[in-house]
Amino acid sequence: MAKERKGIEVSLAIAEAVGQADCDLISAYPITPQTHIVEHLSEMVADAHLDAEFVPVESEHSAMSVCCGAAAVGARTFTSTSSQGLALMAEIFFIASAMRLPVVMALANRSLSAPLSIWNDHSDTMMVRDGGWIHVFVENGQEAYDHVFWAFRVAEDPAVRLPVALNIDGFIMTHMIEPVDFEDDELIKRYIPEFRMEKPLHPDNPVSMGCFAMPEIYSEAQMTRERALVDSYATCVKAWEEWAAVTGRQYHPVETYRADDAEYCIVTMGSLGETAMAAVDELREQGEKVGVIKIRLWRPFPFDDLYRAAAGKHTLIVLDRAISFGGPGGPVALELRSALCNSPQAPVVVNYVAGLASRDVTVEDFKAIILGGKAKSAEGDVAGFTFYGLRG
């Protein structure tokens, strides 16, 4: 493929990127709203547009298991799922990272049952937050396309060797037709070198993978995993810098909008960031000193980037798209509260939960959330969370 701008459905752009990355094996099971990604990949394989094995399995649990087997022999591996599919594969999700198998997954974020809902929020990805994967959130079609390459580049880096979940808001992004700048194949080939696993499963050099551990060594194995994930931060940033050098599109672990002199910042993850920016523009016109902080890299958590972004702010108003039932709030707010609690002049964190199951969070809603958060902060009403826009 040559460099060109196309109007394309985001799911198809993701599939095309997997093709450009010369993926060897794709294994998936259909679930809305991930389907267009894998449908297009199977078409690409059927048309010999992509030379890969497409393994159409009987469950998501098998999809992740097939990917583990393929990554273990050194193949470049991709899967995609959503919601219940992720819940079903969760067992193997945790094992993939523990075994350092660099699977790349497009996670089309969708609500968890029950009640059954095919629409978008972040309850699925928050369920596997502690699964040891690198998690990145994207905001539009271009970012989704770019981050497929970034995901392979980071996952397969010998210093990292961890699976990467590319979080894309279901429907809101997967089913949108957007302009996307495609890069040419040669550039991609240079950006992601051929995957060379040091010790794949091969009869020429037998290794045992997935041995069981007694308590004497289990803790050390977990610590190795923790270090690998924390240390992957450097590669994540380096891979973004290299991408910027060749494409001009620069990404950061935490990104801000009109936040430099802001006193109040709304914190978002995923596709709602653009709506939040529009709301901030309108509030700025009314003289409110407000800005946006967007978290792109969710794991490893970018503590220093967050401290820099939060420095000098009076209040952070965190918009969560999932609930930690029975706990003190949404998962993003919890993370920020614990990350910031010991920093000097830590900003106040106010938490709203909104946008569950794709319920619209409009510019007007954002304005109400930001101003509501400001008022709550002034009143000292900052514990727990507020369910925004709840009926009845």
Partner 1 sequence: MDKFSVFSARLVEKGEYFTSGHRACQGCAEALAVRLVMKALGRNTIVAMATGCMEIVSSPLPTTAWEVPWIHVAFENASAVISGCESGMKAMMRKGKLPPKKINFVAMGGDGATADIGMGQLSGALERGHDMIYVCYDNEAYMNTGIQRSSSTPWGASTTTSPAGKVSKGQYTQKKDMPKIAIAHNIPYVATACPSFPFDLMDKVEKAAAIEGPAYLHILSVCPTGWRIPSEEAIKYGRLAVNTCVFPLYEYEHGEYSLTYRPHPILPVREYIEGQGRFRHLGSEDIDSIQERTRMEYEKLVKLSEED
User: Where on the chain is the footprint of partner 1 (CB under 8 A)?
Assistant: 24-25, 27, 51-53, 55-59, 61-62, 65-75, 77, 91-92, 95, 99, 194, 201-203, 205-214, 217, 221
Q: Smallest distance from the beta carbon of 67 to partner 1, in angstroms?
A: 6
CB neighbours of residue 358 within 10 Å: 19
Q: Residue 16 Cβ, how far from partner 1 at the closest point, in Å?
A: 19
User: Which of residues 204 and 261 has its CB atom nearest to partner 1 in the complex?
Assistant: 204
| Total length of the chain | 392
| Nearest residue to 80 via CA among 25, 123, 122 | 25
Rounded least distance, CB 243 to partner 1, Å: 24
Beta strands 104-109 and 164-169: pairing type? parallel
Distance between CA atoms of residues 148 and 171, nearest Å: 18
Which residue, 205 or 286, is less far from partner 1 as judged by CB?
Answer: 205
Judged by beta carbon, residue 30 or residue 69, the one nearer partner 1 is 69
Is residue 146 within a helix (H) or strand (E), and if so which, with residue range? helix 141-156
Q: How far is the CB of 96 from partner 1 (least distance, A)?
A: 8
Q: What end-to-end distance do the CA atoms of the chain give, in Å? A: 53
Minimum distance, C-beta of residue 285 to partner 1, in the bound complex (Å): 55
What is the nearest approach in angstroms of partner 1 to the Cβ of residue 95?
6
The smaller minimum CB distance to partner 1, of residues 73 and 390, is found at 73
Short-list 161, 169, 173, CA closest to 133: 161
Q: How many CA atoms lie within 13 A of 269 on its CB side?
A: 31
202 or 308: whose CB is closer to partner 1?
A: 202
CB nearer to partner 1: give 52 or 236. 52
Q: What is the DSSP string of 259-276?
A: -TT-SEEEEE-STTHHHH
Q: How far apart are CA 368 and CA 294, in angstroms?
A: 19
